[in-house]
Structure 1
Amino acid sequence: MANTMQFDLVSPEKRLASLEATQVQIPAAEGDMTAMPDHAPVITTLRPGLVKVTGADGSETSFAVTGGFVEINAEATSVLAEHAAAGDADSRAALEGFLEDARKRATEAEGDHKDVVEKFVADLEQLLEDMV
């Protein structure tokens, strides 16, 4: 059994992280999950939340994501985020802009689409709260 796995986080803008990790906590669409070395292969979608990475040296780093996909296998975890940030003030301001836009869309949405947009708004609100 390996002690570490490769972790990569990319967004359309840039690669945010590439490091050896012992575990990665993921805000998956169906619920939170933790990937560790020798994990069974999984591909799933992300909801807005914090991806928390424990490095090989024991350090912990968090990245805010607004959605996307994650691929996990025995050797690596790769996050392909719609938008991702390291949690600084600029990132928080961008996420607050996303939240404002999502709230506007929620007021205009109808039917089943309204439920989806309202859930997205709730997830973004929780993400901003978790960043404090």
Structure 2
Amino acid sequence: MAKTQRLDIVTPEKVVFSEEIEFVVAPGADGELGILPEHAPLVTALKVGTLRVQQGGKFFKVAVSGGFMEVKNSRIVVLADTAERADQIDVDRANAAKQRAEQRINSKNLEVDIKRAEIALHKALNRIKAAE
């Protein structure tokens, strides 16, 4: 039987996931991080991206939009701004958010905050990619 570690994914609104897993790949601020049981202690910022989680020999994805990850004593805690399991993502809603962000970016309106629109586009694209 493979060694396991605890993964807790928490947002300000809810606990998204809290179970034993074998392996996780996280979108760290400086690149992807693979975490196996008994990994050295670590704290890192997370960027918008997808957690790839191995549980029971199978992988699933969780779209996250930033936050932090702590690894200590074979326990991983992800404190994310938002997090959605791929099987729970509303792809139509994500596509609508993508279109709205693209329209804001392409508009000639000087009052549009382009940086915010780019962040919204990046988050929507991440949700769509995770759901695939």
CA drift of 1:117 comes to: 7.1
Aligned Cα root-mean-square deviation (Å)? 3.0
> What secondary structure sits across from 1:129 in the alignment?
helix
> What secondary structure sits across from 2:77 in the alignment?
strand
**2:7 is the counterpart of 1:7:** yes
* Alignment correspondent of 1:30: 30
* Alignment correspondent of 1:41: 41
Q: Which has the higher strand share?
A: 2
Unaligned runs of 5+ in 2: none
Say if 1:53 and 1:62, in contact at 8 Å, map to a contact too: yes
Unaligned runs of 5+ in 1: none
CA drift of 1:59 comes to: 2.7
**2:58 is the counterpart of 1:59:** yes
* Alignment correspondent of 2:85: 86
* Alignment correspondent of 1:125: 125
Q: Percent identity?
A: 29
Cα distance between partner residues in 2 of 1:129 and 1:50: 8
CA offset digits 1:45-93 (Å, max 9, x no partner): 11121111112x2132211111111111231111111111112465435
Cα distance between partner residues in 2 of 1:87 and 1:126: 10
> What secondary structure sits across from 1:3 in the alignment?
coil
Superposition map of 1:73-112 within 5 A = 73-88=72-87, 90-93=89-92, 95-96=94-95, 99=98, 104=104, 108-109=112-113
TM-score w.r.t. length of structure 2: 0.73
> What secondary structure sits across from 2:39 in the alignment?
coil
Q: Which has the larger radius of gyration?
A: 2
Would the alpha carbon gap of residues 96 and 13 (structure 1) be closer, same or farther in structure 2, given more than 3 Å must change?
Answer: farther
CA drift of 1:124 comes to: 4.6
Cα distance between partner residues in 2 of 1:38 and 1:47: 24
